[in-house]
Amino acid sequence: MSKLQGKVAVVTGGNSGIGFASAQAFLAEGADKVIITGRDQRAIDEAVELLGSRAAGIVANVADMAAIRQMGETLGTLTDHVDVLFVNAGVATFAPLEHMTEATFDHNMDVNFKGAFFSIQAVLPLMREGGSIVLNTSVNAHMGMAGASAYGASKAALVSLARNLSAELLPRKIRVNAVSPGPVGTPLFTTAKLGVDEEQLTQMGQHIAGLVPLGRFGHVDEIARTIVFFASDDSSFILGSELIVDGGMVTL
């Protein structure tokens, strides 16, 4: 049976990687409509084209408060309700403490935590009773990794947010949970996105894969399946919780 039959879902950062795979999975599970957001009109248009006629896109930079507010308003013109919100848009800019600039620190926090927080605020008026919000965090919320201090803290904040918002949204029966992926092969692993050079990227990839007991990066579909679990009634008795999907990276 289709787990998301008739549901309306929003995926922030849905044009790429885990977000795009989750949008595909939502549609495969029968969602009526999936609305993705991202920064770049062309990337959004291409993704919507691939997702098909039940998809729509909104350009919104979640590091920009005005853009987040506008996203909420535009969303209201596309749908009169939302059942599932996957808060996925994120960046991972790594730097050791002594080289961390205020701009890099703020970028991690502004997109990953503040952007997530206010994206939820913007979508909340449209969310229906019984809805599900899923936050994309990271194993970096739980483990120490050189250079990942700002990123890890921004993601740890989301684990906390899942608990606090679950308590706050209890009267509306909206559940908030977190999924914390280990390393997953996505466009995030590029020199530009990680803020490292080619050699560092190769070393980082080998090092990180070596930290995973399963010995490999995860596939986006392995994360998307977990997002579907939290988005659907399969997880109806789970709130304020977290699933670490990491090939055993922090759990073994």
Ligand X SMILES: NC(=O)c1ccc[n+]([C@@H]2O[C@H](COP(=O)([O-])OP(=O)(O)OC[C@H]3O[C@@H](n4cnc5c(N)ncnc54)[C@H](OP(=O)(O)O)[C@@H]3O)[C@@H](O)[C@H]2O)c1
* Catalytic residue set: 151
Residue 104: both structure tokens together: 């890099």
Give the residue with the Cβ less far from ligand X, 124 or 128: 124
Total of chain residues touching ligand X, rule CB under 6 A: 29
HEC secondary structure over 49-117:
HHHCCCEEEEECCCCCHHHHHHHHHHHHHHCCCEEEEEECCCCCCCCCHHHCCHHHHHHHHHHHHHHHH
Q: Applying CB under 6 A, which of residues 75, 92, 126, 178 lies at the interface with ligand X?
A: 92
Q: Applying CB under 6 A, which of residues 89, 122, 150, 162 lies at the interface with ligand X?
A: 89
Q: Applying CB under 6 A, which of residues 22, 136, 149, 177 lies at the interface with ligand X?
A: 136
Distances from the Cα of 245 to the Cα of 107, 178, 220, angstroms: 25, 11, 11
Other beta carbons within 10 Å of 217: 19
Give the residue with the Cβ less far from ligand X, 187 or 248: 187
Give the residue with the Cβ less far from ligand X, 111 or 176: 111
What residue type is assigned to position 53 of the chain? Answer: S
Residue 201: both structure tokens together: 């990227």
Nearest to 187 by CA among 201, 199, 200: 201
Q: Does 63 bind ligand X (CB under 6 A)?
A: yes
Touching ligand X, residues 210-249 (CB under 6 A): none
Give the residue with the Cβ less far from ligand X, 38 or 72: 38
Q: Does 62 bind ligand X (CB under 6 A)?
A: yes
Three-state secondary structure call for residue 159: helix
Q: Applying CB under 6 A, which of residues 138, 149, 226, 232 lies at the interface with ligand X?
A: 138
* 14 within 8 A of 36, measured Cβ to Cβ: yes
Q: Does 25 bind ligand X (CB under 6 A)?
A: no
Q: Indicate the DSSP class of residue 171.
A: G
Binding mask 172-211 for ligand X (x = CB under 6 A): ---------x-xx-xxx----x------------------
- Please report, as ranges, the residues that interact with ligand X according to CB under 6 A: 13, 15-19, 38-40, 43, 61-63, 88-92, 111, 115, 136, 138, 181, 183-184, 186-188, 193
